[in-house]
Chain A
Amino acid sequence: MKLGRRRLLLVSGAALAAACAPRVDLPRPATAPSAPDELDEISRAIQSGGPPPDGIPPVERPAYISIADASKQWRDDAVVDAFTIDGQARAYPRLITVWHEIVNENAGGRPIAITYCPLTGSTLVFSGELADGRTTTFGTSGMLYNSNLVMYDRTTKSMWPQLSGIAVRGERRGERLREIGGAVTTTLGRWKAKFPDGVVLSKDTGHARAYGTWPYGDYDTSSGTMFPVRATDDRFYPKKIVVGIRVNGAALAIPKDEFAQRREANIEVGGRELVARYDVELDAVRVLDRRTLEAISAYNVMWFAWYAFNPKTEVLR
């Protein structure tokens, strides 16, 4: 049996072509910065996570079902990220958002993005209004920094690591997105008990995905990270859930399980006086401004990721 060399090349060439996906042009790191700063360092540390831009497709037109109907599809212990906006309680099951990582939504006529990174266990809600007044939706760049989702905005193509919310490449480089506070990570059963009239993100996302399955295996409990991080700290198990708060450049981590015993603490972060409260009904920590009672962005995140982004973080003991 003889197989020509040309035929071999043809087979491998065709397979290679099939392996290469179409690309959205996103900014590349500066090649020769005269005085590299932290943003340059971050930009160069960004690496491919595998998928192309929007290879993990955001939900662009989210549909919702009543929480009563959602309860027929999802078990009470299904993890959801949830918040109240426009007077409506909304929950986003992670068994859906794990396949999309971003939900582009409108609240009060203004764009917001509910973003979830499975590799760092973090959900943050961002405003889609840029500092210059333009509005945007967000996509997944397919890139990671410190094992964390790097988003890109569709208006300027700038790239924003989720856990910093600061653009590290592109036109908006150095700009910080506005975080929207008040979101919590809880279970559908707990959320339903507190907000029986709420709505839940529907599986009708416009995409075919194996909703109800978890593609990351035991990642949430194993000690390893899939991608490198720039700083590590062994005070806690890498995947331990802490509640991260960042105000005026200062960072505080609240170990969630320990805080559940303490229930409440007055804290000061970045010169702002805050109160952290454990919500027994939702098994979640909420942080409020002590004076105005405005909800401050505070979110569950894996310790390794919080530390990698905030090596100078304080830890509430």
Chain B
Amino acid sequence: MGLLVAYGVLYLLVAKALVIDPAAHFSPFGPLPSLTLSPLSASGLADWITPAFVLYLTDSIVLAPSVPAILTVLVLGALVGVNGALAVEAIVRRPACATGGSGWWIAAILPSFLASFSCCAPSILLLLGAGAAGAVISTIPFVVPATVVLLVGSLAWSARELERTTVIAAV
């Protein structure tokens, strides 16, 4: 659960859906906290730009996630959390006599790490520079699904490895 919350906060910060800006000055907009909802529509389910709501929390903090961002946080966050829990469990249960494959748990949590990059095209573009912009933009619709596939695959693999490790330990 902690990993889900941590991942969610990180995701929203990177995606700029959560802004913490000490220089901001939201209180003149009205009493805080203040909430504005976007009108509900079917297209909102696929609209990454329009916030589902804008919540001015304090003078310096505003939360404005889109519906896909909220769903992504919940789905990817849960998968990242379960992956992380399995990796920790595997390390704890790993028998001293086990040989080989010592880095598999790193491979197991790698998709979780990659998942953190699935949110924010502008950030990726700034990192990679202008030359890569076109290539990156064209891949954006596939990034989140690819991350889900990676995470689910990783989860299945981790579970299998953990099961194998448990059997070795029992023997």
Contact = CB atoms under 8 A, between A and B. Distances in A.
Interface residues of A, number: 46
B46 interface: yes
Nearest to B62: A210
A271 B108 CA distance: 68
A55 B26 contact: no
Given A19-B141, A213-B19, A225-B130, A208 B152 contact: no
Contacts of B45: 18
A19 B28 contact: no
Contacts of A18: 45-46, 68, 71, 144
A11 to B, nearest CB: 6
Given A47-B137, A213-B24, A215-B16, A203 B29 contact: yes
Interface string B11-33: 00000100101001110110000
Interface stretch (A1-9, A106-114, A257-265): A1-9
B97 to A, nearest CB: 24
Q: Main SS of the interface on chain A?
A: loop
Contacts of A210: 19, 51, 54, 62, 64
Interface residues of B, number: 52
B171 interface: no
A21 B66 CA distance: 13
B88 interface: no
A46 B141 CA distance: 19
Contacts of B50: 57, 207-208
Contacts of A35: none
Contact of B51 (A48, A73, A209): A209
Interface in B20-76: 21, 24-26, 28-29, 36-38, 43, 45-51, 53-54, 62, 64, 68, 71, 75
Contact of B140 (A15, A50, A212): A50
A317 interface: no
A228 B133 contact: yes
Interface string B157-171: 001100100000000
B145 A212 contact: no
A209 B142 CA distance: 26
Nearest to A73: B28
A22 interface: yes
Interface in B140-156: 140-142, 144-146, 148-149, 152-153, 155-156
Contact of A8 (B43, B131, B153): B153
Given A8-B149, A212-B24, A212-B62, A224 B130 contact: yes
Contacts of A16: 141-142, 145
Interface in A190-218: 203, 207-213, 215-217
Contact of B64 (A2, A12, A208): A208
Given A73-B28, A208-B51, A210-B54, A226 B130 contact: yes
Contacts of B159: 1
B95 interface: no
Contact of A2 (B131, B138, B156): B156
Contact of A50 (B38, B54, B121, B145): B121
A225 B152 CA distance: 36
Contact of B133 (A75, A211, A226): A226
Contacts of A73: 28-29
Contacts of B131: 228
Interface of B: 16, 19, 21, 24-26, 28-29, 36-38, 43, 45-51, 53-54, 62, 64, 68, 71, 75, 121-122, 125-126, 129-131, 133-134, 137-138, 140-142, 144-146, 148-149, 152-153, 155-156, 159-160, 163
Ranked 5 nearest A-B pairs via Cβ: A1-B159, A15-B145, A210-B64, A19-B141, A12-B145
12 contacts: A1-B155, A11-B148, A15-B144, A18-B45, A18-B46, A18-B71, A73-B29, A209-B54, A210-B64, A216-B122, A217-B122, A226-B133
Given A208-B53, A227-B133, 13 more contacts: A1-B155, A2-B156, A8-B153, A15-B144, A15-B145, A18-B46, A20-B141, A209-B51, A212-B29, A224-B126, A225-B130, A226-B122, A226-B126
